[in-house]
Amino acid sequence: MGLVLVAAGSVASADLSQIETTRARFMELHPTTKMLKSSEGQVRRIYGTAFGHGENPLDAAASFKDRWSDIYGVPATQLVPTPLEEGRSHLQPIVYRQESDAYQFTGAYYSQQIDGVPVYGTRLCVLVRNEPGYPVVLASSQLKQTGDWAPGAHAPVPDRAAALAAAERFFGTPARLVDEPTWVIFAGGEDELLEPRLSMRVEAVTGRKFEGNYRRWLLLVDPQTGEILYEENRVLNCFPQGVSTAVAAVATSDISGTVSGMATEWSGADECEIEVETQLPYAQVTASNGQTVYADSNGAYVLPTGEGETVDVTSGLIGQWFTVNNQAGEDATITRETSDGETEDFVHNWSNADEQVRAQVNAYLEANIVRDFTLQFNPAYPVIATQTQFPTNVNLNDSCNAYYDYSSTNYYIASGGCNNTAFSVIVHHEYGHHLVACAGSGQGEYGEGMGDVMGVLITGDPQLARGFFQGQCSTGIRNADNSCQYLASGCSSCGSQIHACGQLISGCVWDIRENLMAEYPNGNDIISSLAINAMLLHNGTSIDEAIVIDYLTLDDDDADIGNGTPHYQEIALGFQAHDLDAPQLDFLSFSFPDGRPDKVDPDGGTTLSVRIDPNLAEVLEGSEQVWIDSGSGYQVLDLPSTGDGSYEVMFPPATCGTEVGYVFRAQTTDGSLVFNPSDWPDSFYTAYAAEDVLVAIDDDFETDQGWEVTGTSTTPWVRVVPPADGPAWKPQSDYDGSGRCYLTHAQAELDGTTILTSPPIDAGDGGTLTFAFWLAQRQNNPAQPEDGMQLFVSTDGDGSDWTLVRDWHTYANEWRTDSLTIGPEGEVPASPYLFLRFVAIDEDVDNRVKAGVDAIQMISVDCESAPCPSDLSGDGMVSVDDLLAVIAGWGGPDGDATGDGTTNVDDLLQIIGDWGSTCE
Ligand SMILES: [Zn+2]
């Protein structure tokens, strides 16, 4: 029997095949949308063209999440709306446009939770364009497939004493908890998938900042064994090793003035630049009568006073958004006696003689600069838009560094050959870490690079921290004007250490900025908006091609990056200079006027018509190729032209049963190479080499194909659209998106036993039968051991002899997929009358069980050649037996070899013509 079984991907793991099936189904419905996967096959970005819509951003994002979470191998019920900033909406405005005073995008954020416990490090951001139809244009994800695993019983909160003990064991010194320990599920770090474990999230500090022995770590600790499953240093060193605030004038009699300081100019250390008087925005002014006011963005303040009142007015390096703490002594303040109606101007560091006072002014000013700069491109940036008096600690008694620790930024005094580190780009860098943290991204090389990027965008100086080392005013510690190349392993050609590798993103941003500034007067604004808003889409710590996708998606002005984006060229070239490739544009348009075949003749000769039309570019004549893989690697063939942009492929012979893959390639007149499908080698077209591709059954349960329901249950199988508002243990939708499926009652849980029997399926040619099923239980009325679902098959022809082939007793709040191989070497013998029987059992009325079935499909490939009509005797040879059969059947139908219904001289001639040939 010339028959080959078709396996729908690997069926070794039902989960895996379900993910593959869902991804394939998604790509079928959204052929121009693309997926970026990690080397482990995790989907990290879905992008390219719109792949969902809604009535509003929430609806669009939630519909995508609910419908397609299986792409990630994660049930939709585990994806819980999670705001970037506690107490806010999980919908985050992204990319503010001043000209329209509107946001272009909304990001909807979800984290993965199992039974209410967050899975550490997970999130899904669904990006929606704020325009009619609300197209979904990007899904940025970092999720963990945890299967049926659940955390089990645990105390409402972890034990504080155990958490502290774990931290102290880790530090080897007394420690303090930064916040209360919480439960999280640890299923591996970034790009790692481990067996999930319930763990305590512990964040603790030890030592003192002014003593130079301060440490802060995040630990995930096994509550039973105290084992530390994950550790993260929360002290990020900078080196290896538009808000209206002015209080309206309420009285005619006030004290007013400005607050300013002698601050170090531009981007270098104080040794390298001059100090100039600069207004200190949002600075706090207090009076001895109890009044406190904040200056406006220009440092101007108005202090209400009573008629004729005289008060002591104090100005310090503290303001609405930042508090500078001098770690080497008293904070710098100025106090003056002033009377109602007078003007009082404060100039900090006027004498400019003390490094430590200068550091306080610089830290205050630069912190406000980087915050204002960020809010200019996203006034709704999480946390920082409203966070007040963020601690900025200066003059720490240590040398040659600065750090961010998730609740402050910190700078060192001049010593050890280094200048005081509280200046311009170092402050921007440390606050850049805060921006990365507030965006919910990981730090690592991305955090270091983005810290540097903030300095570059604000100062325009690619040298990072000139004068960090005393006497070195022309060079910094890193350089954004670099040629660091992306390396898939090893981070970058500039090194894998996080600060060195961070130069990869600062290098890309610098080159994009150069490209943009050559073309646009507001080039720096364009790249700044992209760099700042793209932080909100970043997951984890890596710098790779996902960032290119994020920038292009945010730059785009329609829901299609294939047709280019307003600054595609400048962005793509900037990344390309660092070996990060941008998704290819649709330079040429490929189409198939007669469709593409699902099978090709194993003997060769099947033809396929193709059109190649110019889109963004013209095709270079003679460059058109088709690459065909019939099972032993690609064979490159010229694409024969039939004139006027039309071509015809002729498929070569291929062993029957093989899946033949093919892809088209052409060059444009301006030298771009274009593949179709464009993300080859990730995808390509396929067809089976076969005499016939047979569909034995393809039932999405939209029509009644003859299934029968029997049994004693009061809640029997019924073909319905599942109600969308049920609890998690009942499906909210069918599996395949067609609408209907079979469920044990539309609403109620199952009671008794209900049997669903298929119509006869012609599985005589064998193949693979695939299906989806649902089997879930309610958590507080769980199933009994005898409950569950079973699958029986009958192959005896009349559906009387049943064989048990599946016996399910595991429960999950999601659709699962499974398959049966049918044929001589399969689990089930081939039969032209195959019957299936799904039996759902819940005999105790107190239990709560729900079962479902959907998407029954079976495809087989037929490799049997057309019958050999001259072999009348059926012995595989055309020989004397067949001649005798013609003579014996003369005048009747029995010796008919030509198919005309009778036996005459034509049949005799045919036998003689085929004499000696073999038939298989
Ligand atoms: Zn850093």
Specify whether 288 is located in the same domain as 326. yes
Average pLDDT, consecutive stretches of 10 residues, N- to C-terminus, the chain (920 residues) = 32 58 85 85 92 94 95 94 94 94 97 96 97 96 92 93 94 93 94 90 90 90 93 83 37 81 95 95 94 94 91 96 96 95 95 96 98 97 96 94 95 95 97 97 96 97 95 93 92 91 97 97 97 97 96 95 91 96 85 88 92 88 94 91 92 87 91 84 84 84 92 92 83 87 89 94 85 90 87 88 94 90 86 93 84 90 68 79 86 80 85 75
572 Cα–ligand 1 center, Å? 27
211 Cα–ligand 1 center, Å? 21
Q: How many domains does the chain have?
A: 7
Last residue of a domain, one of 177, 207, 234: 234
233 Cα–ligand 1 center, Å? 12
Identify whether the C-beta of residue 713 lies closer than 8 Å to the C-beta of residue 844.
Answer: no
Question: In sequence order, which ranges of 520-567 are alpha helices (DSSP H)?
Answer: 523-534, 545-555
415 within some domain: yes
Identify the residue whose tokens are 């081939």.
830
174 Cα–ligand 1 center, Å? 27
Specify whether 547 is located in the same domain as 494. yes
Last residue of a domain, one of 565, 583, 601: 583
pLDDT number for residue 687: 87
CATH number where 302 lies: 3.10.170.10
pLDDT number for residue 253: 65
237 Cα–ligand 1 center, Å? 5
pLDDT number for residue 15: 59
Specify whether 337 is located in the same domain as 404. yes
Cα 452–476–350 angle (5° rounding)? 90
411 Cα–ligand 1 center, Å? 12
239 Cα–ligand 1 center, Å? 7
Tokens of 293: 């006011």
Q: What span, in angstroms and rounded, lies between the C-alpha atoms of 609 and 614? A: 17
**What is the b/e burial string over 73-110, where b = at least 16 CB atoms within 10 angstroms of the residue's CB?**
bbbbbbbeebebbeeeebbbbbbbeeeeeebbbbbbbb
908 within some domain: yes
496 Cα–ligand 1 center, Å? 15
Per DSSP, the residues of 379-398 read TT-TTTTT--SEEEEEEES-
Going by C-alpha positions, the residue among 147, 124, 232, 158 that lies closest to residue 194 is 147
448 Cα–ligand 1 center, Å? 4
Tokens of 896: 């008919």
Identify whether the C-beta of residue 702 lies closer than 8 Å to the C-beta of residue 739.
Answer: yes
430 Cα–ligand 1 center, Å? 6
667 Cα–ligand 1 center, Å? 44
Specify whether 229 is located in the same domain as 259. no
Structural domain harbouring 227: 160-234
Going by C-alpha positions, the residue among 278, 276, 279 that lies closest to residue 299 is 279
Tokens of 60: 């669009």
272 Cα–ligand 1 center, Å? 22
219 Cα–ligand 1 center, Å? 20
Q: What one-letter code names the amino acid at 781?
A: N
Q: What span, in angstroms and rounded, lies between the C-alpha atoms of 454 and 449? A: 9
433 Cα–ligand 1 center, Å? 7
**What is the b/e burial string over 142-178, where b = at least 16 CB atoms within 10 angstroms of the residue's CB?**
bbbbbbebebeeeeeebeeebbbebbeebbeeebeeb
CATH number where 204 lies: 3.10.450.40
480 Cα–ligand 1 center, Å? 14
444 Cα–ligand 1 center, Å? 9
CATH number where 899 lies: 1.10.1330.10
445 Cα–ligand 1 center, Å? 9
pLDDT number for residue 240: 62
Other beta carbons less than 10 A from residue 831's beta carbon: 20
447 within some domain: no
CA-only gyration radius of the chain, Å: 35
pLDDT number for residue 6: 34
Specify whether 872 is located in the same domain as 754. no
- Catalogue the E-assigned strands of 729-811: 741-744, 752-757, 761-763, 767-777, 788-794, 803-808
742 within some domain: yes
Three state DSSP letters for 250-280: CCCCEEEEEEEEEEECCCCCCCCCCEEEEEC
278 Cα–ligand 1 center, Å? 27
Burial class from Cβ neighbours inside 10 Å (0-12, 13-18, 19+) for residue 45 reads buried
29 Cα–ligand 1 center, Å? 43
The residues near 536 (Cβ < 8 Å, ≥ 6 apart) are: 84, 92, 94, 107, 125, 378, 381, 382, 439, 440
Q: What span, in angstroms and rounded, lies between the C-alpha atoms of 401 and 350? A: 27
Specify whether 82 is located in the same domain as 178. no
Going by C-alpha positions, the residue among 206, 411, 210 that lies closest to residue 329 is 210
475 within some domain: no
CATH number where 716 lies: 2.60.120.260
Q: What span, in angstroms and rounded, lies between the C-alpha atoms of 367 and 348? A: 16
Other beta carbons less than 10 A from residue 298's beta carbon: 14
682 Cα–ligand 1 center, Å? 36
Specify whether 715 is located in the same domain as 820. yes
410 Cα–ligand 1 center, Å? 11
Q: What is the DSSP letter of 764?
A: T
Last residue of a domain, one of 639, 665, 690: 690
Q: What span, in angstroms and rounded, lies between the C-alpha atoms of 601 and 861? A: 12
Per DSSP, the residues of 65-87 read HHHHGGGGT--GGGEEE--SSTT
304 within some domain: yes
Burial class from Cβ neighbours inside 10 Å (0-12, 13-18, 19+) for residue 752 reads middle
pLDDT number for residue 895: 83
Specify whether 778 is located in the same domain as 724. yes
Specify whether 761 is located in the same domain as 822. yes
491 Cα–ligand 1 center, Å? 17
Beta-bridged to residue 230, according to DSSP, are: 220
403 Cα–ligand 1 center, Å? 7
CA dist 288 → 125, 255, 339, 831 (Å)? 49, 13, 12, 96
455 Cα–ligand 1 center, Å? 12
236 Cα–ligand 1 center, Å? 5
Specify whether 889 is located in the same domain as 757. no
303 within some domain: yes
Other beta carbons less than 10 A from residue 805's beta carbon: 15
Specify whether 721 is located in the same domain as 844. yes
Going by C-alpha positions, the residue among 479, 467, 237 that lies closest to residue 355 is 467
pLDDT number for residue 865: 58
What kind and span of H or E run contains 479?
A: strand 478-479
Specify whether 704 is located in the same domain as 787. yes
404 Cα–ligand 1 center, Å? 7
149 within some domain: no
Q: What one-letter code names the amino acid at 661?
A: G
What phi and psi values does residue 366 have, to the nearest 5 degrees? Answer: -70, -35
